[in-house]
Structure 1
Amino acid sequence: MAAPGAEVQAFLDHLRVERRLAARTLTLYTEALAGLEAAALAAGVELRTARPHHLRGWVAQLRGRGLAPRSIAIALAAWRGLYRWWGRQGLVEANPVDGLRPPKAAKPLPKALSVEHAVALAEHEGVPGDAALMARDRAITELLYGCGLRVAELTGLDVQAGTQARGWVDLDDASAQVLGKGGKWRSLPMGGAAINALREWLALRPTLAHLEEAALFVSRRGTRLCTNQLRNRLREQARQAGLPTRVHPHMLRHSYASHLLQSSGDLRAVQELLGHASIATTQVYTKLDHQHLAKVYDAAHPRARRK
């Protein structure tokens, strides 16, 4: 691709010297503007007189070449910046890029652990050290994976119900009462593994928690556990359990939803358990379920493998 012309280079020099654009961004803008000049030259159009329909056609060419939505968005940002700069100098009357939008990028599927890895993490003894902290971490993992809690919902749990509580666990009822997004309460069933882990933690909790602390999960300082502390402990716990991927709390929520949907096929029930306002939010897990089925098919069916 040819180097940018003098007028475009002047804009790039402005970005480099006055705007102090990062080197990587400047490289991407240079490529995008050189491509714009090449498209205009091929169409026999002067860049300063280009109209919106010209720009729309050039965006279509980018899509036709298979550029990703993010790459097209960067190109449009470079083009828009050039015309805006020319406009401030009175060199163009209007910005032909205004109103153009890049194609929407496909939303990546949430990352979920396999059933085997999720179970291995839940059954891991925890980060070696204080017995109370180890019991706490096991209870946290069981609730994240066993109930699909958001991390803020988990750290907001109290030991007992109260007027100020944002959630609590009821071991006799085998349920967790959780205040979720939008101020909506939901009741979540807890399995035997979660109940047992919570009983072990509650027996050791007084060795860490301050006397008046209401939080169910506390740090080694005796106060409510914060999300960063939880993330760090879970990451280390997953590493020591031998998991091949970096684990964060929300990944266990995704795993809970995906595995539950694989087993039950009941999308509406999973929506209620997750506390999603719209079932469209929950439907992403049907794609995860399809991925699981496709892997099983590819691995097991004699006609699945293609040369």
Structure 2
Amino acid sequence: MTDAAQPPVAAPAAEGDIARHLVHLEVERRLAGRTLVIYRDAFAKLQAFAADQGVALRDAQVHHVRRWAATLHREGLGPRSIALVLSAWRGLYRWLGRDGLVAVNPVEGVRAPKAAKPLPKALSVDLAMALADAPTPADGAEADTPAVAARDQCIVELLYGCGLRVGELVGLDVRPGGAGWIDASDATAHVLGKGSKRRSVPVGAAALRALRDWLGARDRLARADEPALLVGARGARISAGQVRARLKLRALRAGLPTHVHPHMLRHSFATHVLQSSGDLRAVQELLGHANITTTQVYTQLDFGHLSKVYDAAHPRARRKG
């Protein structure tokens, strides 16, 4: 028998299980190439841990997996990365279980360490002002009609000036009785927030001016029977996606160095009010948070701002070069 006709040497059970599972992921699950690379790396870690402990892959128990996850954490792997590794392992053992190769899935119930919630990003006051005061192209291919310019100005002023969620903004109607509306005479926005909870928010002078200008131009865009305050190019209620697109364009026009989205303006509203007032409870009411612990994230943002001021201004804060 020639070398070409020799039967292949059988791979160890662990390598064979992982190789077959990777084929399953690639051919049947059709995972992307980058995802497969991540899974291969996760399985390489699993094999290394099992070999180091002298444990056959199919004999691994929950306490083994917990120990291996803890080792990944000690080695500096972040919670999200550990969660991804555990997800890959969990899928492997679930697949082996379907073939009757393992009795239990040792990864079920094992969770990665909790990841710290990232702080919401807020614009500085200067950048928020630059966005609000962004000039509208008067001519050229990117020029806006006066009605579109007035609408976009109204969008920015209501998001930043009132701290509205994008869903609350697009839900506003021209007249009372719907999900939300603005009482210009009382300078108050009445909105329907999360959990169908209503709240009232003060509307500042800049937002009221923008609202008045938009209402003067709205008929040029809106359908005759459209109840929505803010409308898109087809005259119907504007969508959240359209608001995001218009904000992105406006930020580019204003030369802002960061991507701007509706929730960033809500974060900016909360941060700037807290920096000026120090009243966390008031910010909670303005944002419509049911629990003040949700609002307390802004105290961390505020502390960051104060730290920068201290470092820049206090003579004892300056470090020698």
Give the TM-score normalised by structure 1.
Answer: 0.92
User: How far off is 1:306 after superposition?
Assistant: 6.6
Which of 45, 49, 54 is residue 55 of structure 2 equivalent to? 45
Aligned residue in 2 for 1:242: 255
Percent identity over the alignment?
A: 61
- CA 1:95–1:296 in 2, change beyond 3 Å: closer, same or farther? same
1:221 partner SS: coil
- CA 1:91–1:168 in 2, change beyond 3 Å: closer, same or farther? closer
User: How far off is 1:266 after superposition?
Assistant: 0.9
Which of 216, 224, 232 is residue 229 of structure 2 equivalent to? 216
Q: Deviations over 1:215-242 (max 9, x none)?
A: 2222233322222222211211111111
Gaps of 5+ in 2: 1-13, 138-142
Alpha-carbon distance in 1 for matches of 2:320, 2:88: 43
1:35 to 2:45 alignment: yes
1:254 partner SS: helix
Alpha carbons 1:126, 1:138 under 8 Å: kept: no
Alpha-carbon distance in 1 for matches of 2:26, 2:233: 49
Gaps of 5+ in 1: none
Which of 92, 95, 115 is residue 105 of structure 2 equivalent to? 95
Which of 64, 67, 79 is residue 57 of structure 1 equivalent to? 67
User: How far off is 1:301 after superposition?
Assistant: 3.2
Aligned residue in 2 for 1:159: 174
Aligned residue in 1 for 2:313: 300
Alpha-carbon distance in 2 for matches of 1:174, 1:5: 69
Alpha-carbon distance in 2 for matches of 1:85, 1:160: 57
User: How far off is 1:298 after superposition?
Assistant: 2.9
1:77 to 2:87 alignment: yes
Q: Deviations over 1:137-161 (max 9, x none)?
A: 1111111100011111111112221
- CA 1:267–1:306 in 2, change beyond 3 Å: closer, same or farther? farther
Aligned residue in 2 for 1:131: 146
Alpha-carbon distance in 2 for matches of 1:88, 1:158: 54
1:143 to 2:158 alignment: yes
2:201 partner SS: strand
Alpha carbons 1:126, 1:137 under 8 Å: kept: no
After the TM superposition, which of the residue ranges 29-38 and 57-66 deviates more from structure 2? 29-38
Q: State the one-letter code of the partner of 1:231.
A: R
1:180 to 2:190 alignment: no
Aligned residue in 2 for 1:207: 220
1:226 to 2:226 alignment: no
Residues 108-127 of structure 1 aligned to structure 2 (within 5 Å): 108-126=118-136
Give the TM-score normalised by structure 2.
Answer: 0.88
- CA 1:49–1:150 in 2, change beyond 3 Å: closer, same or farther? same
Alpha carbons 1:297, 1:304 under 8 Å: kept: no
Alpha-carbon distance in 2 for matches of 1:198, 1:289: 30
1:5 partner SS: helix
Aligned residue in 2 for 1:284: 297
2:189 partner SS: strand
Alpha-carbon distance in 1 for matches of 2:148, 2:241: 15
Alpha-carbon distance in 1 for matches of 2:46, 2:244: 45
The alignment's C-alpha RMSD in Å is 1.8
User: How far off is 1:191 after superposition?
Assistant: 1.3
Alpha carbons 1:125, 1:134 under 8 Å: kept: no
1:20 to 2:33 alignment: no
Q: Deviations over 1:58-109 (max 9, x none)?
A: 1110000010112111211222222223323333222211211111222211
Alpha-carbon distance in 2 for matches of 1:218, 1:261: 32
1:61 partner SS: helix
Alpha-carbon distance in 2 for matches of 1:151, 1:100: 37
1:272 partner SS: helix
